[in-house]
Amino acid sequence: MPERENWNTARAEQIIAAGKEREGPLLPILHAFVEAFGYVPDPAVPMVAEALNLSRADVYGVVTFYHDFRREPAGEHVVKLCRAESCQAAGCEALADHLIERLGVGFGETSTDGRITFEAVYCLGLCSISPAAMIDGRLVGRLDVKRLDRALEEVVR
Amino acid sequence: MTIRLYVPRDAAAVACGADEVVVALKIAAIAAKFDIEIVRNGSRGLHWLEPLVEVVTPEGRIGYGPVEPEDAAALIAAFAGDGSHKLRVGKPEELPFLKRQTRLTFARVGIVDPRDLDDYKAHGGLKGLEKAIALGPAAIVEEVTKAGLRGRGGAGFPTGIKWKTVADAKIDRKNPADRKYIVCNADEGDSGTFADRMLMEGDPFCLIEGMAIAGVATGATKGFVYIRSEYPHAVAAMNAAIDKARRANILGTKILGSSYVFDMEVRVGAGAYVCGEETSLLESLEGNRGTVRAKPPLPAHKGLFGKPTVINNVLSLATVPVIVADGAEAYRNFGMGRSRGTMPIQLAGNLRYGGLFETAFGITLGELIDDIGGGCSTGRPVRAVQVGGPLGAYFPRELFDTPFDYEAFAARDGLIGHGGIVVFDVTVDMRRQARFAMEFCAIESCGKCTPCRVGAVRGAETIDKIIAGKEVARNIAVIEDLCQTMKFGSLCALGGFTPYPVLSAIRHFPEDFHGTPLRVAAE
């Protein structure tokens, strides 16, 4: 995973200033927060609202609408397993059971040691090589238990 | 002498290890003191062969696949020798899967270097835009209309009519804030679809050219490509191509030296399926929650920031250059009925030969699944196919004679949607698939209208009762009634089309709902 910065207001102001002149600036700015800090920290919400002349409720509403704008930092490693129809047809649910057992976390959860976040994703566009997953941003397809374990071992030691 | 190799950069190839294969080939070439140059092309769409390595020979490009990094040394030795190797598949275009296709939209994908504008031009690129500038707005709209191109995102609305509405919309030319927009919907969220991704990764200049033509045709000066965040490779490919297009004056204030102005940028979605619906996509671009807008007003009248906006799918826009370059007649000669031209069909799920198959409308579902797709990869019989994504109907084998055509699918209570086909073998439990359709709708509902927001939750709960065997007949009646409400009362296709997979599962696979599922009975 890329190095994440710790929350600091100077950096946050920089992100907002860099994005606020664009047309429809809110989503690009929120993406930039996730890029920098790994999540959208709560103190960012009033700052963005102020800069874009929106209410806090507006910004909060947008942050909470989209799956990508997490409000808590994710674990050190993020495992996203596709659970959409094509991957279902190719047996992703068996892989899900295997991962839940192996990682010790359920969908949408982060392990207590903060090492791993496990999430479902609905389609990675790899449907012709289902089942597929994204592990720390790296795509893997044609998965079976063996290939999945090998891909995991490369990033999650 | 330097030998040129092609190894796709396409996300599907990368997910099968293409990057590792590139590294291994480079190391093996150095060890063998053999000069190679590697081009990262798009994918040919024969995904069971990925990573497909191609080597340029005097006879043409010869393919090898699926290649593992361990094969690198032997492959390099083969390239240096007579070319024989157990993974050799010959010329890709001679393989039946490719030979049977008619590639118009995907003509260059897998062949050209997606980062090389000269390669694009050498393969017919920019001919459409050059001709469009010569023709002028009205004649371009006329060509697109005559070609019979319909929205490839799923709705099938005639593209030419949409463009004409925007072209006719009046704006104050002296006010720079008053302008028209071209928005490309690249929020390809349907499971079983990946054509937009492949096109953006394999031939990004084609989409840029299509959007620029749309700009010239309608008077729009700014474009946005809204790409889902699950597609980082496509985002990178589009950004790189836009940068190059700007430098080459394909985008900017005087496109190709003409008086037309058009520029564009990429925007990344944030993981909301509903943003593939055009009005919620516009809301998202504006920086709002991705909730659906009631229509009218149509986006063509009041779209992005309230301005006249063309919003088209990637495939619709990427098909425009070939239509303008070769003329409407050449395009509309393909197809059947009111479905003209070709459709990039995506074969996915439990299928032996998955990938991209572009062909004229009219091919039957059975040909696609049995002849071209080769049946299930598990070797078991095919039981159900879902066509058109999570909102598409499940069809049994009895309906495999349905031709791939907007109207033919609609007549059988299905839809072709964005052209994705997901195949399931006999182990599928259709109650689970029906439940998943409701569950997915509940997760992804934008929440604006009640039939979708509440209906999906109640639907999932009711199917749970059916699965548990509680008052099955009564609960199926409840589901059927609920589906009617969702179908006719929802604001957009998410709530409105979720009944398709649910009702088709109940109708075509009643044995799974009434009594013991086949699977249990067979074991």
pLDDT in tens, chain B (523 residues): 899 999 999 999 999 999 999 999 999 999 999 999 999 999 999 999 999 999 999 999 999 999 999 999 999 999 999 999 999 999 999 999 999 999 999 999 999 999 999 999 999 999 999 999 999 999 999 999 999 999 999 889 999 999 999 999 999 888 888 999 999 999 999 999 999 999 999 999 999 999 999 999 999 999 999 999 999 999 999 999 999 999 999 999 999 999 999 999 999 999 999 999 999 999 999 999 999 999 999 999 999 999 999 999 999 999 999 999 999 999 999 999 999 999 999 999 999 999 999 999 999 999 999 999 999 999 999 999 999 999 999 999 999 999 999 999 999 999 999 999 999 999 999 999 999 999 999 999 999 999 999 999 999 999 999 999 999 999 999 999 999 999 999 999 999 999 999 999 999 999 999 865 444 444 4
User: How many angstroms separate the CA atoms of A137 and A129, rounded?
Assistant: 17
Q: Cα B249 to chain center, whole Å?
A: 28
- Same domain flag for B171 and B288: yes
- Same domain flag for B165 and B281: yes
Q: Which of B229, B422, B436 sits opposite A68 (nearest CB)?
A: B229
Burial of A125 (0-12, 13-18, 19+ CB in 10 A): buried
CA–CA distances in Å: residue B518 to residues A45, B85, B434, B505, B513: 53, 45, 16, 14, 10
Partner residues linked to B56 by β-bridges: B61
B422–A139 C-beta distance less than 8 A: no
Interchain contact A90–B (C-beta under 8 A): yes
Out of A21, A43, A65, a domain closes at: A65
User: How many angstroms separate the CA atoms of B511 and A106, rounded?
Assistant: 32
Global ipTM: 0.96
Chain A partners within 8 Å of B444 (Cβ): 122
Chain A partners within 8 Å of B187 (Cβ): none
A126–B11 C-beta distance less than 8 A: yes
Determine, yes or no, domain membership for B130: yes
Q: Cα B133 to chain center, whole Å?
A: 28
Interchain contact A129–B (C-beta under 8 A): yes
Determine, yes or no, domain membership for B106: no
- Same domain flag for A86 and A148: yes
Dihedral angle over CA of B126, B357, B47, B40, nearest 10: -10
B422–A24 C-beta distance less than 8 A: no
Question: Which residues span the domain enclosing A54?
Answer: 9-65
B272–A125 C-beta distance less than 8 A: no
**Tokens found for residue B276:** 């593939």
Q: Which residue has the tokens 């059916």?
A: B466
- Same domain flag for A82 and A149: yes
User: How many angstroms separate the CA atoms of A107 and A95, rounded?
Assistant: 12
- Same domain flag for B341 and B194: no
- Same domain flag for A53 and A93: no
User: How many angstroms separate the CA atoms of B280 and B311, rounded?
Assistant: 12
Determine, yes or no, domain membership for B293: yes
Label the pairing between strands B335-336 and B222-227.
unpaired
Interchain contact A111–B (C-beta under 8 A): no
User: How many angstroms separate the CA atoms of B478 and B510, rounded?
Assistant: 15
What one-character DSSP code corresponds to residue B368? I
pTM of the model: 0.96
Question: Which residues span the domain enclosing B485?
Answer: 430-522
Determine, yes or no, domain membership for A59: yes
